[in-house]
Chain A
């Protein structure tokens, strides 16, 4: 593998050159090929090339379809258009304000207030109906640009005194678009106005290039635009990071705690301390939306912990970290321990460290980790963090939002377990409450997600989409339920589920699984006891259950045997087990069971 170094900033023509080099290379990405369509109301050269290169660097292979110049409506409306034949996974719809307003863009006050309002409403209608048509013929996620709010007005300082002003009409379009697609799972409004503000509206357009080649966005900013698009491409390619691993000295605070001491480090409302304080505040914000935090630091544990416990300006506390490796081991070894403790894939990590050598070490040892290139100047830490677009998902379940908290609780459980002398005593001390609930519209997405993601304690590893789970749950012949697990450390959320076919004589377990977070706490016995009790109540004579071994579910292998099931046959790898409900499967006595 070629040596991976800190990436240098590439200019637009570097991207064109890389595109030429890479486009004919054989497909070597680990993800499926992603099909991206770009429809725009003007010359959008460069987007395809830059996005291709950026995706390639992430291991994503892309195919592109670029609509003809200003033909977006025809492409959408014609069922046989190149767009629909292409069958994109993502369609970018980039219509700019000048195209929408036409010659009214510079003559907005050629109309009266009322006509301006009608005009804006008509335009909104046009866009909405175009998007609806697109949805009818395509399953692609749609990235719909909103419009750059003009930073000028022919009325000058009186612009904001109008009944329905020009600037207001563009703002209204934007806010109506946001409202129209707020609850739409397919359409995502891309805030192009915010993007233009970010790069500066004066820079967004290069007038000469606009007059010469109808370019509505300065070519030099196409890489920035494509970086924003990546926020949508990554979750589409299932690249979603879950955990930020942080260094301490000169990362979470300025200076070295072992040398400068608690009072000497820079952190707090001073020019030197504020960058670190705000960096921490934003990390806390990410934690609150479900990002897991961990520490990998070469330090004296006691010195570091003292900062967390005693420094008045630490926004982050021990309670925000799911794993803390603070010692004199090397960073690679610590990284391995963190990955093991959290039990998430190495590709889920983002690594933040002020030290270049440490970054290079981690980058070489774990190419899958996103090692963030931290600026030399701490005052740019916050911006670097804000610019990360690694944690996006098109949909988040309630459990995703609580993930950061849940992993911290898990660390505390593990610590409690280490300090207690026997397992039974530990489990008892947890005061667990397990609540079973029939599948409903709130839990169906999570149940589906569990069938998709659970590999370890999963008896059959059958994957189901939301639609399938919904179908089962509406079928009288099926029992579909989830379990929520709470204990004295907190709420684990929905962490287990089962799908059972209720035959007249025999109930058969189609899916039975537990999230890795709660393996080893006898929750599985509670689940099985519940199924056995329900089966008995219904008069079933037996319960049958499959165990299908995979290379990841060995932890579940002996479960039916130790639960008093008898094996009745073995088909290839699949084992079929049977149980007589009359045997009254016992609920573990230290778990309080509830039904909702």
Chain B
């Protein structure tokens, strides 16, 4: 989970403390549709996992992201 947080911090350019289950695409101003894809691309590269298109579209918050990554065994 630490690794995932690190990537979110880097891509969204926010403080680590802000990366928690309350973080959503709605309330994070940097989390636009482009950064969303950048985030996915970086997670796939750094953590050697892949997302499906449906998963990418379903993720709307850090909580969603965390759960899907967890599902993938990471």
B11 touches A219 (CB 8 A): no
Interface string of A289-315 (1 = CB under 8 A from B): 000000000000000000000000000
A220 touches B56 (CB 8 A): no
A209 touches B45 (CB 8 A): no
Which among B11, B13, B37, B50 is the interface contact of A215 at CB below 8 angstroms? B37
A213 touches B33 (CB 8 A): yes
Which interface residue of A12, A43, A213 has the most chain B CB atoms within 10 A?
Answer: A213
- Please tell me if B1 contacts chain A, counting CB pairs below 8 Å: no
Number of chain A residues close to chain B: CB under 8 A = 19
B13 touches A20 (CB 8 A): yes
B42 touches A208 (CB 8 A): no
A212 touches B37 (CB 8 A): yes
Chain B residues lying within 8 Å of A206, measured Cβ to Cβ, are: 41
A45 touches B34 (CB 8 A): yes
Chain A residues lying within 8 Å of B56, measured Cβ to Cβ, are: 208, 212
A213 touches B37 (CB 8 A): yes
Q: Shortest distance in angstroms between A224's beta carbon and chain B's nearest beta carbon?
A: 14
Interface string of A2-38 (1 = CB under 8 A from B): 0000000001111011001000000000000000000
B13 touches A17 (CB 8 A): yes
Residue of A nearest to B56 (CB): A212
Interface string of B45-69 (1 = CB under 8 A from A): 1000011110011000000000000
- Please tell me if A394 contacts chain B, counting CB pairs below 8 Å: no
Residue of A nearest to B7 (CB): A13
B42 touches A13 (CB 8 A): yes
Residue of A nearest to B45 (CB): A220
Chain A residues lying within 8 Å of B40, measured Cβ to Cβ, are: 209
Q: How far is the CA of A14 from the CA of B51 in the complex (A)?
A: 22
- Please tell me if B25 contacts chain A, counting CB pairs below 8 Å: no
Q: Shortest distance in angstroms between B47's beta carbon and chain A's nearest beta carbon?
A: 13
Residue of B nearest to A207 (CB): B53
- Please tell me if B28 contacts chain A, counting CB pairs below 8 Å: no
Chain B residues lying within 8 Å of A220, measured Cβ to Cβ, are: 41, 45
Q: How far is the CA of A241 from the CA of B6 in the complex (A)?
A: 39
- Please tell me if A442 contacts chain B, counting CB pairs below 8 Å: no
A12 and B13 contact, Cβ closer than 8 Å, known pairs A208-B51, A213-B33, A220-B45: no
Interface string of B13-57 (1 = CB under 8 A from A): 100000000000000000001100110111001000011110011
Q: How far is the CA of A212 from the CA of B52 in the complex (A)?
A: 11
Q: Shortest distance in angstroms between A549's beta carbon and chain B's nearest beta carbon?
A: 54
Q: Shortest distance in angstroms between B19's beta carbon and chain A's nearest beta carbon?
A: 15
Residue of A nearest to B42 (CB): A13
Chain B residues lying within 8 Å of A13, measured Cβ to Cβ, are: 7, 10-11, 38, 42
Q: Shortest distance in angstroms between B61's beta carbon and chain A's nearest beta carbon?
A: 18
Chain B residues lying within 8 Å of A215, measured Cβ to Cβ, are: 37
Q: Shortest distance in angstroms between B27's beta carbon and chain A's nearest beta carbon?
A: 20
Chain A residues lying within 8 Å of B51, measured Cβ to Cβ, are: 208
Chain A residues lying within 8 Å of B41, measured Cβ to Cβ, are: 12, 206, 209, 218-220
Chain B residues lying within 8 Å of A20, measured Cβ to Cβ, are: 13
Interface string of A203-229 (1 = CB under 8 A from B): 000101101110100111000000000
A11 touches B53 (CB 8 A): no
Q: How far is the CA of A20 from the CA of B50 in the complex (A)?
A: 28
A16 touches B53 (CB 8 A): no
Residue of B nearest to A215 (CB): B37
Chain A residues lying within 8 Å of B13, measured Cβ to Cβ, are: 16-17, 20
Which interface residue of A12, A16, A206, A220 has the most chain B CB atoms within 10 A?
Answer: A16
Q: How far is the CA of A17 from the CA of B7 in the complex (A)?
A: 12
Chain B residues lying within 8 Å of A17, measured Cβ to Cβ, are: 10, 13
Q: Shortest distance in angstroms between A215's beta carbon and chain B's nearest beta carbon?
A: 7
Q: Shortest distance in angstroms between A177's beta carbon and chain B's nearest beta carbon?
A: 30
Interface residues of A in 39-85 (CB under 8 A from B): 43, 45
Q: How far is the CA of A440 from the CA of B41 in the complex (A)?
A: 57
Q: A16-B11, A219-B38 are in contact. List 4 more A-B contacts (CB 8 A).
A: A11-B42, A12-B41, A12-B42, A17-B10
**A/B interface sample: 23 pairs, CB < 8 A:** A11-B45, A12-B38, A12-B42, A13-B10, A16-B11, A16-B13, A17-B10, A17-B13, A43-B34, A206-B41, A208-B50, A208-B51, A208-B52, A208-B53, A208-B56, A212-B37, A212-B56, A212-B57, A213-B34, A215-B37, A218-B41, A219-B37, A220-B41
Please list the residues of chain A having a beta carbon within 8 angstroms of any beta carbon in chain B: 11-14, 16-17, 20, 43, 45, 206, 208-209, 211-213, 215, 218-220
Please list the residues of chain B having a beta carbon within 8 angstroms of any beta carbon in chain A: 7, 10-11, 13, 33-34, 37-38, 40-42, 45, 50-53, 56-57
Instruction: List the 3 closest A-B pairs by CB distance, nearest first.
Output: A13-B11, A213-B37, A219-B41
